[in-house]
Structure 1
Amino acid sequence: MYVLTADQRASRVNADAVPSALAVVTRRGAGGLALPPERTAGDELQVAVADASAALSIVLELTRTGEWSVGLGVGAVESPLPQSVRAARGEAFINARDAVDRAKKTPTRVAVTAAAGGEDAEALIRLLVELRDRRSPEGWEVYDLLADGLTQRDAAARLGVSEGAISLRAKAAALRVEEAAVPALERVLAHLDDGTRTASAPERG
């Protein structure tokens, strides 16, 4: 299981970004969410995710704005899952707390904690986030159009520029690099989750 804990940066001087982030997480998580996202503290949100692709998509979207420090924890969780992520427990939640605390201290605003192999996944995700941080507004404009399913020709027509100009923007934005990196990172994250199982909640009494 993957648990993401995200803490809003500079929340004391900026407007509350949690409501919009909750909508982003819900949209990006799609059918991969194990528990819906919730505000877990004044400027913090948390979500449990069952799918590596959804987990990476959420991480990349939250780090894009620079507003969030994002911790990704991987591990088992207690079953049965409660209805609220705030009531859930397990190794993945402990790891997510460790990860977000470390993410607050890094320029790329992201960290990964797992029983084994988390440092490799963290290094690769940080490389991709650093690449995305260098992307210009024009590069993001092309990224968003292509992500919506437009071809480069369609994007050129939409923006009123030549296909050659779109190609140059895509190259400068390293869109092909990201396109190749994302599936590889999804496999790395899926491997981290291999062998983890949903743990039975201990009996209390």
Structure 2
Amino acid sequence: MIVLTVDQRGSTHAEDRVPQVLDDLAQWSEGGAGLVVPFSRTVGDEVQGVLVGSDDGARLAVDLTLGLLRDQGWSIGIGVGPVELPLPAESRNGRGPAFYRARDAVERAKTRTRGTSVAVEGPDDPTGANRANEIESLLRLLGAVRARRTPQGWEAVDVLAGLDDRPGRQKAAAQALAVSEQAVSQRVRTALWQEEEAVRPLAARLLAELAGLSGPDIGPVGKPAEARGSGTTNDDVRDELRGTGTP
């Protein structure tokens, strides 16, 4: 699974923006696959949601992360790994390595500059750690590109993103913006939008691969989730994990 923990930056001296970001996250997730536990407030100015560790979940995680980085008012921690099943209705009641890693990741993300405040945590083995570092680097790079985009660049990118990818799209964008096609082309080049669009699928693919390396989710009696029945609580699994030394 993929857990996103999102914390408001500078909240001590700012208004509570959690209601607005929850609305944004719900809107960005609407109609898409991948979200299994909707985002909700966990504590204070923090929100959290759970996504499935699949291609759909990874793509949505990347999209949500970049949307939050554009705002520059949030620190984003991405934790990848097993979770305890059954999943709760609210993420704040969830347990398992993916939740713990998201917590570690968001604390690291808080030390980063605005626009690049994202961190990724996965399995501790060399393969998992290297893959998490690769994903984090790509997301921070994309965040930095977006942070340097001008309002005019965003205007062109937002219009183009809302149009079907077909011949004549740039002309349609120019008409919508009441500027020339050359002006749209210049804005897009300066905004590095095509470069961003080329890199986003790579970040999502690596994130899905990391989720695939992270092992099965944790159901009752310490067996893989697909092999278990019902009747054992998350507290039972937590006690078992403590006995085996699993984090």
TM-score by length of 2: 0.80
The aligned runs of 1:169-184 (5 Å cut-off) are 169-184=187-202
Deviation per residue, 1:39-88 (Å, 9 max, x gap) = 01111100101110011111001111110011011101011112111111
Match of 2:145 among 131, 136, 144: 131
Q: 1:76 to 1:95 in 2, by over 3 A?
A: same
Q: Which residue of 2 aligns with 1:197?
A: 216
Runs of 4+ in 1 over 6 A off after TM superposition: none
1:58 partnered with 2:76: no
Bigger radius of gyration? 2
The residue identity in structure 2 corresponding to 1:2 is I
- Please, which of 102, 105, 109 is the counterpart of residue 111 of structure 2? 105
Unaligned runs of 5+ in 2: 222-231, 240-247
Rounded Cα–Cα distance in structure 2 between residues aligned with 1:146 and 1:76: 38
Tell me the TM-score normalized by structure 1: 0.96
Structure 1 gaps, min length 5: none
| Residue-by-residue CA offset, 1:138-180 (whole Å, 9 max, x unaligned) | 1111111111116211111111100010000000000010010
2:15 matches 1:15: yes
- Stretch deviating more after TM superposition (123-132 or 10-19): 10-19
For residues 17 and 11 of structure 1, what CA distance do their matches in structure 2 show?
8
Task: Provide the C-alpha distance between the structure 2 equivalents of 1:15 and 1:201, rounded to a whole number of angstroms.
Answer: 42
Q: CA deviation at 1:6?
A: 0.6
Query: What percent identity do the matched residue pairs reach?
Result: 43
Q: Which amino acid aligns with 2:192?
A: A
Aligned-partner SS, 1:97? helix
Q: 1:152 aligns to what?
A: 170
Judge which range, 121-130 or 166-175, deviates more: 121-130
SS across alignment from 1:41: coil
Select the residue among 73, 90, 93 that pairs with 2:96.
Answer: 90
- One-letter amino acid of the structure 1 residue matched with residue 121 of structure 2: T
Shift of 1:27: 2.3
Which AA in structure 2 matches 1:181?
V
- Is 1:143 matched up with 2:161? no
Deviates more, 1:113-122 or 1:25-34: 25-34
Aligned to 1:33: 35
Higher strand residue share: 1
2:186 to 126, 146, 168: 168
Q: How many residues were matched structurally?
A: 205
Distance 1:6 1:82 in 2: 18
The AA in structure 1 aligned to 2:33 is G
| CA-atom RMSD in angstroms | 1.4
CA–CA distance in 2 between the matches of 1:13 and 1:32? 34
Q: CA deviation at 1:100?
A: 0.2
**Do residues 187 (structure 1) and 244 (structure 2) align?**
no
Quote the Cα distance in structure 1 between the aligned partners of 2:142 and 2:91: 28
Deviation string 1:105-126 (CA, Å, 9 cap, x unpaired) is 0121110001112111111111
User: Which amino acid in structure 2 is aligned with residue 18 of structure 1?
Assistant: V
